C-alpha cells in the first residue's frame, strides 16, 4: 500500500514522504490516527501543489532574510558601555540581550535567540552573528568600552605604576650581586 505521511513517523519517513507499507499497518494504525493518507492520484496532485506553494513561501522568506542581512551589514558601529574592573575585565558579561537592545535602538527588531556570540568578558572589539534563516546570517561588529572611559584609564595607570616598582626590585638584585662579587 502506498501512503503519504502527514507527520514524521520514526523508522518510516518524514512528513510528506510517499512510502510503501504493509496494508495492515496503514489501515489499522497510520490512517486512523491521522498520520497518513492513501496515496491516490488526487492526493498526490494535492501534495505536489502544497510542496510548490511551500517552496515559493520559503524562497520569499529567504529573500526577506537576505535583504535584512544586507541592511544589518550597513548599520553604524555598535558600542556597548559596561562597568569594568581596574584591569579591563567586565563585571558580568555582554550577551545577546545587549546586542538585541543596541539593534533595537537602530530600528531593527531582532529576536535575541537569533544572535550568537562568544563570551565577552573583556573590553575590546568583537563580532556577533545574527542567524536570520537557516541559510542566511549576518555578522555584526561591536565594541565593548568602559563606562565613561574612567575605569579603563585607571587600569592603564595601575599597570604602569607596577612596572617601575618591578624595575627597582630588579636593580636592587643586580646591585647586591655586584657587592657580593
* pLDDT tens-digit map of 81-114: 999 888 878 888 889 999 999 999 998 898 989 9
Q: Tell how far CA 104 is from the center of its chain.
A: 16
Other CB atoms within 10 A of residue 146 CB: 19
Mean pLDDT of 18-25: 95
- For residue range 54-78, what is the model confidence (pLDDT) as tens digits? 999 999 999 999 999 999 888 888 9
User: What CATH class has 73-176?
Assistant: alpha beta
CA dihedral in degrees (65, 68, 73, 78; nearest 10)?
-120
Fold designation for 2-51: Ribosomal Protein L9; domain 1 (3.40.5)
108 near 75, Cβ under 8 Å? yes
> In a 3-state reduction of DSSP, which class is residue 146?
strand
Res 73: pLDDT: 87
Domain ranges across the chain: 2-51, 73-176
Amino acid at each position: 500500500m502506498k501512503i503519504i505521511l502527514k507527520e514524521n513517523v520514526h523508522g518510516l519517513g518524514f512528513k510528506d514522504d510517499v512510502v510503501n507499507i504493509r496494508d495492515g499497518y496503514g489501515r489499522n494504525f497510520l490512517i486512523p490516527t491521522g498520520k497518513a493518507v492513501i496515496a491516490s492520484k488526487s492526493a498526490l496532485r494535492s501534495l505536489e501543489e502544497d510542496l510548490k506553494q511551500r517552496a515559493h513561501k520559503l524562497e520569499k522568506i529567504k529573500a526577506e532574510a537576505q535583504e535584512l542581512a544586507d541592511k544589518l551589514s550597513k548599520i553604524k558601529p555598535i558600542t556597548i558601555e559596561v562597568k569594568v574592573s581596574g584591569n579591563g575585565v567586565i563585571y558580568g558579561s555582554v550577551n545577546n540581550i545587549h546586542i538585541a537592545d543596541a539593534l533595537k535602538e537602530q530600528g531593527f527588531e531582532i529576536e535575541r535567540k537569533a544572535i550568537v556570540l562568544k563570551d565577552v568578558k573583556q573590553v575590546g572589539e568583537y563580532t556577533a552573528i545574527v542567524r536570520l534563516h537557516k541559510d542566511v546570517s549576518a555578522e555584526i561588529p561591536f565594541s565593548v568600552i568602559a563606562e565613561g572611559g574612567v575605569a579603563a584609564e585607571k587600569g592603564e595607570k595601575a599597570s604602569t605604576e607596577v612596572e617601575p616598582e618591578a624595575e627597582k626590585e630588579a636593580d636592587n638584585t643586580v646591585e647586591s650581586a655586584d657587592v657580593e662579587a
